[in-house]
């Protein structure tokens, strides 16, 4: 397919959750300069006031901790209660390395961050198959166990009595003691660097994959993304920055104990993120600012901080699940500040040239496949073969086993018996994302797009397999990563134009009608440049005109060498695009042959 570049405007999301490419160098410098100016002014205003210096220093450290948690909870959607373990490991690790190994602060902190990252990666594996409440309980057990270990390992951690005698870091012979302006000027630049890194990563394909994982594991795998790798990466990055926050906290306090890293810290981190806006770029910063305002404002009102804090939580949960950032975004839309008027440029997508790489025909074959649930055979000895450029219809009454066959081919379920092959390669035993990367991509009965992404960003997910930037480059949103995004962006726009929904490219999926979503999902599947496309009810819920447009698109795709397996209940729609039909009934093949002949058979009519 063509990967032509195009000039375009910033297609941001109204909810600040759509990750978009194309943040230029000028914007980078303005953003970084603004953040640096903010902390400089903050430091100068606080001056030599010991109270305010401690407040703003603590706020900077908390920002790093909350920003780290935003990666794993806000973006990846993993409700980990073990984040405090990584925070404490950064604190204890840095001071123990200094005290026991004789390292300086400037060496001990990076080493402790590396250790924390490794531990975070190790934590990711035993919890990889857990989800929802089970994942939260599993990580809670890890947090409680770690605190008990810290309490009991008195020779190493000081136990419940805490770790005394932490030496302050030195900079050219000057001690940077926590609570002084000197320590603030150490922490503040690190917070600015973290702000820039968090912001850059939020605009990358890495964070797009995290958000996709948060919204739907099945949809993530369907576009060739390895969910376990995304999950492990989120853990590792979160642990890296949590370790930094823990080390800075320990050297600010100059005394740490298990109580310093209790579950109350985890609760505070979670609440601050929710108040600011989980899964948003500015959420951690806004949440920390709100926390300081609530605490200090409450004290001035007569120890009312807890009351204000509680009321804030109730208001956010009940009326603003998107946090303060969500409130600001909605207000901006109502005032017209965030409206997008630029029209998306049309990028023509060229499917594989039949005379080029697609000239070698490919074959997708299913042989004697069976699938049983509790003794009932949903699929009973089905055989089918589809060639490059062919549109094969798979039809039958409800419960006939059509979707089960597609689930088997796509790797979503493993058959009880039988074989599925792409040319000479067996697909049995492969994970869904591996099947997609082999060249067999599917859609679902209900469109599974990411609701908080606009259409172009949804389709860009399908280009993740074509990214040439490494993991570090993606996190830093390096020039290579930005080029990948620009190419994916142009490609995605072209596919949306091919499917006739280009005018909705910058609209969030949650705000679009079902018919548009169905066509956008097909565009996302085509973004993987598949050899075979499995379409499960693509015409369901569409008007006659919309079905005609999809039919035309399917014919165009097949004409360029892509094989298509089509499931749909609308016989007229199926007949308009399929050259051959297979009819299933009770998990078995009832009829097979040319479309016109099959539809005239009495047993097929009776089955329907």
CATH number at residue 487: 3.40.50.300
Assigned domain for 224 exists? yes
Detail the DSSP E strand segments found in 374-502.
376-387, 391-395, 417-422, 425-426, 440-442
pLDDT surpassing 50 at residue 2: no
Rounded to two decimals, the pTM is: 0.86
Detail the DSSP E strand segments found in 348-492.
363-373, 376-387, 391-395, 417-422, 425-426, 440-442
**Exposure on the CB side of residue 41, measured as CA atoms within 13 A:** 6
Q: Name which of 166, 170, 184, 175 is nearest 49 in CA terms.
A: 184
Instruction: Report residue 195 as tokens.
Output: 């702000």
More confident residue, 295 or 475: 475
**Sorting pLDDT into bands at 50, 70 and 90, what band is 13?**
very low
**SS3 label, residue 130:** coil
Instruction: Report residue 352 as tokens.
Output: 């594989």
Phi, psi of 387, rounded to the nearest 5 degrees: -105, 165
Assigned domain for 251 exists? yes
pLDDT surpassing 50 at residue 16: no
Assigned domain for 392 exists? yes
**SS3 label, residue 80:** coil
- Sheet containing 563-567: order of strands: 440-442, 532-536, 563-567, 391-395, 580-585, 588-594
Of 160-169, 219-228, 448-457, which gets the smallest average pLDDT? 160-169
The average confidence (pLDDT) of the chain is 85
| Contact (CB, 8 A) for 537 and 393 | no
Assigned domain for 214 exists? yes
Strands 440-442 and 532-536: parallel
Q: What is the pLDDT of residue 336?
A: 64
**Sorting pLDDT into bands at 50, 70 and 90, what band is 149?**
confident
Looking at 231, 261, 291, which one is the last position of a domain? 261
Question: What's the rounded mean pLDDT across residues 468-491?
Answer: 89
pLDDT surpassing 90 at residue 100: no
Question: In terms of domains, do 381 and 257 share one?
Answer: no
Q: What is the pLDDT of residue 24?
A: 57
- Name residue, tokens 């499995």: 534
Q: What is the pLDDT of residue 156?
A: 77
Q: What is the pLDDT of residue 142?
A: 81
Question: In terms of domains, do 222 and 90 share one?
Answer: yes
d(CA 500, CA 41): 51
Question: In terms of domains, do 382 and 255 share one?
Answer: no
Helix (H) / strand (E) containing 583: strand 580-585
Looking at 227, 261, 295, which one is the last position of a domain? 261
Question: What's the rounded mean pLDDT across residues 468-495?
Answer: 89
pLDDT surpassing 80 at residue 345: no
Using one digit for the tens of pLDDT, what is the confidence trace for 354-374?
444 445 789 999 999 999 877
**Residue 224 DSSP class:** T
d(CA 448, CA 525): 11
Q: Name which of 247, 264, 275 is nearest 111 in CA terms.
A: 247
Q: What is the pLDDT of residue 288?
A: 94
Measured CA angle at 82 (ends 79, 84), to 5 deg: 115
Looking at 261, 296, 320, which one is the last position of a domain? 261
Q: Name which of 96, 126, 132 is nearest 112 in CA terms.
A: 96
- Which residues span the domain enclosing 155? 25-261
d(CA 581, CA 593): 6
Assigned domain for 336 exists? no
**SS3 label, residue 532:** strand
Assigned domain for 386 exists? yes
Assigned domain for 17 exists? no
Question: What's the rounded mean pLDDT across residues 74-80?
Answer: 90
d(CA 475, CA 117): 15
Assigned domain for 59 exists? yes
The alpha carbon of residue 36 and the mean position of all alpha carbons in its chain are separated, in whole angstroms, by 29
Q: How many domains does the chain have?
A: 2
Question: In terms of domains, do 250 and 385 share one?
Answer: no
Using one digit for the tens of pLDDT, what is the confidence trace for 181-234?
999 999 999 999 999 999 999 888 999 999 999 988 888 999 999 999 999 999
Dihedral sign of CA atoms 528, 533, 537, 540 in order: positive
Residues of the chain with pLDDT > 70, as a percent, come to 91
d(CA 409, CA 531): 13
Residues of the chain with pLDDT > 90, as a percent, come to 42
Q: What is the pLDDT of residue 337?
A: 62
């Amino acid at each position: 397919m063509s990967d032509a570049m195009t000039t375009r405007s910033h297609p941001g999301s109204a909810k600040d959750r759509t990750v978009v490419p194309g943040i230029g160098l000028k914007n980078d410098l303005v953003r970084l300069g603004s953040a640096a100016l903010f902390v400089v002014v903050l430091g100068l205003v606080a001056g030599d006031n010991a109270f305010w210096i401690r407040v703003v220093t603590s706020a900077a450290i908390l920002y790093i901790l909350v920003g780290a948690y935003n990666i794993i909870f806000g973006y990846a959607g993993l409700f980990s209660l073990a984040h405090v373990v990584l925070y404490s490991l950064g604190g204890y690790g840095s001071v123990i390395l200094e005290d026991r190994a004789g390292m300086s602060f400037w060496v001990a902190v990076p080493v402790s961050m590396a250790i924390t990252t490794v531990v975070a990666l190790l934590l990711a594996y035993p919890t990889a198959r857990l989800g929802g409440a089970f994942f939260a309980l599993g990580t809670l057990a890890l947090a409680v166990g770690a605190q008990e270990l810290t309490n009991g390992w008195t020779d190493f951690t000081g136990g419940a009595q805490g770790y005394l005698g932490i030496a302050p870091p030195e900079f050219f012979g000057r001690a940077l003691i926590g609570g002084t302006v000197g320590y603030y000027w150490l922490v503040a630049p690190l917070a600015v660097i973290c702000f820039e890194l968090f912001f850059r990563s939020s605009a990358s394909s890495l964070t797009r994959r995290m958000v996709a994982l948060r919204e739907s594991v099945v949809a993530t795998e369907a576009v060739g993304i390895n969910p376990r790798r995304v999950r492990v990466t989120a853990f590792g990055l979160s642990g890296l920055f949590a370790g930094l926050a823990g080390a800075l906290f320990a050297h600010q306090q100059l005394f740490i104990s298990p109580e310093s890293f209790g579950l109350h810290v985890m609760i505070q981190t979670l609440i601050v993120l929710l108040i600011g806006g989980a899964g948003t770029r500015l959420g951690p910063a806004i949440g920390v600012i709100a926390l300081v305002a609530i605490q200090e404002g409450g004290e001035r009102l007569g120890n009312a901080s807890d009351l204000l804090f509680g009321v804030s939580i109730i208001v956010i949960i009940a009326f603003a699940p998107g946090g303060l950032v969500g409130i600001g975004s909605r207000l901006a839309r109502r005032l017209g500040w965030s409206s997008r008027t630029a029209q998306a440029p049309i990028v023509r997508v060229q499917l594989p040239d039949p005379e080029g790489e697609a000239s070698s025909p490919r074959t997708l074959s299913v042989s004697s496949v069976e699938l049983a649930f509790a003794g009932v055979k949903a699929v009973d000895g089905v055989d089918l073969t589809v060639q490059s450029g062919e549109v094969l219809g798979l039809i039958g009454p409800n419960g006939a086993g059509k979707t089960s066959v597609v689930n088997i081919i796509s790797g979503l379920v493993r058959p009880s018996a039988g074989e599925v092959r792409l040319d000479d390669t067996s697909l049995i035993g492969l994970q869904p994302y591996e099947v997609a990367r082999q060249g067999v991509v599917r859609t679902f009965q209900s469109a599974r797009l990411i609701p908080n992404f606009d259409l172009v960003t949804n389709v860009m997910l399908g280009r993740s397999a074509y990214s040439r930037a490494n993991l570090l480059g993606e996190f830093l949103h390096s020039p290579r990563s930005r080029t990948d995004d620009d190419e994916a962006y142009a490609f995605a726009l072209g596919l949306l134009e091919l499917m006739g929904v280009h005018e909705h490219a910058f609209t969030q999926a949650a705000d679009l009608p079902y018919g548009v979503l169905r066509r956008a999902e097909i565009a996302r599947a085509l973004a993987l440049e598949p050899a075979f496309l499995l379409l499960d009810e693509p015409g369901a819920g569409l008007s006659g005109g919309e079905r005609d447009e999809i039919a035309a698109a399917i014919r165009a795709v097949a004409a360029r060498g892509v094989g298509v397996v089509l499931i749909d209940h609308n016989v007229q729609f199926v007949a308009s695009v399929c050259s051959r039909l297979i009819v299933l009934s009770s998990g078995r093949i009832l009829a097979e042959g040319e479309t016109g002949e099959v539809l005239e058979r009495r047993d097929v009519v009776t089955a329907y």
